[in-house]
Amino acid sequence: MYCPIINWSTKYNKRKATISFIFLVTACGSKASLYEDNVIIINSSSNNAKQQLQQALCSGMSNTSQTCTDNTPKTIKINGVIDFTNADGKSFKKGCVYSNNQCADTQGQEQILDVQYYCKGKSLFNINTNIAGQKPLLIGSNKTIIGIGKYSGIKGTGLLLRGVKNITIKNINITDINEQVIWGGDAITVDNSSNILIDHNYIARIGRQFVVTGWGSARNVVISNNNFDGKTGYGHYCDNRHYWNFLFLGANQTITLKQNWIHNTSGRAPELGQSNSVSGLGLVHILNNLYQSNYYMGVRTNNKVLAFVEANDFDNINSLKGNFKPIFKESDNDLIFAPYADNIAQANTYCNSKIGRSCVANIYSNYSPSDAFELNSNALSMKYDIEIKQFIGKAKPISVDSVKSFVLKNAGPQ
């Protein structure tokens, strides 16, 4: 049974300045708790802060599977920014310019390493990258990572969750991972992992994805109240917007993307899919997010993943180019369920019977809704009735008219 996380709380000891409990409250009404009497505070000013953080996150690794074997419950509090940018030196690898229409140097050319087919037919040259960006920090199961204040976190590298469960990443900044170079590193990777909460973080200036899942499963993943800042000097379309934002490819993934500020992007917000060898259906619930100053592509849909998109504010009046599709479909078979004002009555004939509540229309500006919002009745297939009702029906979206003010006030570290 899948139960998305909808709330959490902490028990804080002011005298000891420690967090002793983390509660994950699921939409199914159950409560899972991790007893956290092992609290580690890491100050960025420490001479060996990087080593301390690596050890706290993962004190043991399997050499065969490249997964962390440290399952000890810990709460790891980061004070200040720990900079990994130059921790492992630099490397020179072949690559090419990948910006659309070969942006002029003065506009900041986006580069890509020579991986797969991306540089086919293009001129190759040596690209300088910081090695740390491609060596994310492994995290073991039962870990809570919390930043102290608004400006704590890590710089120059990301986090890798592989084969783990019960992870909370909260109130941290993850920034500046080989910003100009695609394949230069991801901020957060979730692969074959479950029960993940990514909440109240700030992520910016990343070479590739803000969050990526797959090809292994990504179950019970909640991404909430984050500030995903796509502003960059190296936009794919020469417009200072980041294209490579979210790539959700986990097998049979169940992901909730809610109450985030997603701004200054030009693609993959998110892009959905999974391997053709996977027989099951992925479920991604996208609700109460604020999209601002976006271009080209919002949610890129797929026929293997249900995209249930409701109560989002696509506010793109100030988009410089004004050409943005909130829903970008690959085919007419894509599993899209995205209501807006003109089809909300039709949508609720399905919602009330399939998920046990009314769904909430999205609101939009600066584009034609007929090009974006669709209701594919196959998206709410009888085959997946039980899981869809548990996954989506128990969620309680806030009023779409309140999304903008709520998100701008709450997104990011507090």
Contacts of 160 (CB under 8 A, 6+ apart): 136, 137, 138, 139, 189, 191
360-374 residue pLDDT tens: 999 988 666 666 799
User: What CA dihedral angle connects 391, 223, 265 and 236, to 10 degrees?
Assistant: -100
> 138 versus 234: which is more confidently predicted?
138
> 261 versus 332: which is more confidently predicted?
261
Tell me phi and psi for residue 47, to 5 degrees.
-60, -30
Residue 262 in tokens: 């997603």
What's the mean pLDDT in 310-332?
A: 81
Percent of the chain whose predicted confidence (pLDDT) is above 70: 86
∠ CA(294), CA(296), CA(302), 5° rounding? Answer: 110
Question: Which parts of 63-182 are beta strand (E)?
Answer: 67-68, 74-79, 81-83, 90-97, 111-113, 125-130, 137-138, 143-147, 153-155, 159-162, 165-170, 173-177, 181-182
What's the mean pLDDT in 384-390?
A: 81
Percent of the chain whose predicted confidence (pLDDT) is above 90: 71
195-220 residue pLDDT tens: 999 999 999 999 999 999 999 999 99
Helices and strands (DSSP H and E) totals, the chain: 4, 36
pLDDT bin (cut points 50, 70, 90) of residue 62 is confident
Look at residue 27 and tell me whether its pLDDT is greater than 50. no
- Does 15 qualify as catalytic in the annotation? no
pLDDT bin (cut points 50, 70, 90) of residue 33 is very low
**Structure confidence at residue 385 (pLDDT):** 76
Q: How many other β-carbons are positioned within 10 Å of the β-carbon of residue 13?
A: 10
What's the mean pLDDT in 322-326?
A: 80
89-131 residue pLDDT tens: 999 999 998 887 667 665 678 999 999 889 999 999 999 999 9
Residue 176 in tokens: 């500046």
244-302 residue pLDDT tens: 999 999 999 999 999 999 999 999 999 999 998 888 889 999 999 999 999 999 999 99
Domain ranges for the chain, please list them: 135-410
DSSP state of 192: S
- Positive or negative, the CA dihedral 361, 403, 212, 295 is positive
Query: Which one is catalytic: 162, 205, 241, 268?
Result: 268
Lowest mean per-residue pLDDT among 18-27, 162-171, 405-414? 18-27
> 48 versus 65: which is more confidently predicted?
48
Distance CA 276, CA 298 (A): 23
* pTM metric for this prediction: 0.92
- Tell me the average pLDDT of the chain: 88
CB 233 within 8 A of CB 240: yes
Lowest mean per-residue pLDDT among 26-30, 320-324, 363-367? 26-30
What's the mean pLDDT in 351-357?
A: 92
Topology (CATH level 3) of domain 135-410: Pectate Lyase C-like (2.160.20)
**Structure confidence at residue 65 (pLDDT):** 75
**Structure confidence at residue 64 (pLDDT):** 75
